[in-house]
Amino acid sequence: MSRDLIGRIIVVTGGNAGLGYFTAEQLALRGARVVIASRNEAKAKLAIDSLHREVENIEPPSYVHLDLADLASVSRASDELVALPSIDVLVANAGITESTADSTTVDGFESMFGTNHLGHFALISQLMPSLLATADSRIVHLGSISHRFYALDLDEHDSPERFRSFRSYSRSKLAVMTFAFELDRRLREAGHDTRSIVAHPGFALDELTPARPGITPDARPGAAVRTLLGSFAQGKDAGARPIVMAATDEYLRGGEYVGPAGWQQLRGRPRVTAAKAWSRDRAVAAKLWHMSENLTGTSLRL
């Protein structure tokens, strides 16, 4: 594999497990210096140990504590990250996929919206000066095919009785994507060369993922089950490929959406694809941007 990323510093939130780990591994294989930003130091150490096993002549990876569900933690992590010589790419990968009606972040926000969108919004706001100071830098946001299913109504707040975890997750991912596309539009408008790109992994399962001790589950399904699952899903190593493409492909433009090329974008090689039109609604994006600044106490100026 070409080591074409030597000299690049790439921050991967949630790089200690799942898609984030395999994103970090694939970037490290190409020579990047990877910084894992996550909330669990023990798991991050296991991830770094695994990277050393899997990648020869690795640029030494490092760890920064980051809990996206705690805005004070986001600020502390930002202070550490801006001390890096540069940030060539920020991969905003970390997030949660399940929650309950009464689950909130440290700051009182609904858990999935607060973690998946607001935490990253605050992080990006505070890292933006470093990103803008680095030539041709990128921000890669983790989208989801689930953004197709529910519109983003910023005035609607589900009661505990109406709360549905999948709906909340889908809306949080639509918020991530809406912000990402609007961020790129504003970056272009301001004359910056930093690119904001969205990638999604398709349907990526642990059951189809190569074993990494301490990173992947120990239990493995039989060959017949893997064959069945492989007809419509893929491993998290394959799910990381659209993320890596978004982080590194020199021909990608800002504002593009990268995902698997197969049926319903569930699996396959990465390619540029189409997001649902409502993810690019500028009126919703402007409202989301303003709301996010107010809720996080940050000011994202370009």
Q: Quote the Cα angle for 248-254-259, to 5°.
A: 65
Question: Is 169 considered catalytic here?
Answer: yes
Among residues 150, 169, 251, 257, the one annotated as catalytic is 169
pLDDT at 161 over 60: no
Per-residue pLDDT band for 102 (boundaries 50, 70, 90) equals confident
Residue 1's pLDDT is what?
59
Q: Identify whether the C-beta of residue 107 lies closer than 8 Å to the C-beta of residue 28.
A: no
Cα-Cα-Cα-Cα dihedral sign, residues 145, 239, 232, 197: positive
Share of the chain above pLDDT 90, in %: 72
Mean of pLDDT values over 248-252: 96
Residue 80 lies inside a defined structural domain of this protein = yes
Mean of pLDDT values over 174-181: 97
Residue 144 lies inside a defined structural domain of this protein = yes
| Residue 46, domain CATH | 3.40.50.720
Residue 47 structural domain:
9-296
Residue 166's pLDDT is what?
76
Across the strands, what pairs with 257? 198, 273
Q: Identify whether the C-beta of residue 255 lies closer than 8 Å to the C-beta of residue 196.
A: yes
Query: Does residue 93 or residue 221 have the better pLDDT?
Result: 93
Residue 224's pLDDT is what?
59
Domain count, the chain: 1
Residue 200 lies inside a defined structural domain of this protein = yes
The DSSP string of 128-172 is: HHHHHHSTT-EEEEE--GGGGSS---TT----TTT--HHHHHHHH
Per-residue pLDDT band for 217 (boundaries 50, 70, 90) equals confident
Would the pTM count as exceeding 0.75?
yes
Mean of pLDDT values over 188-209: 92
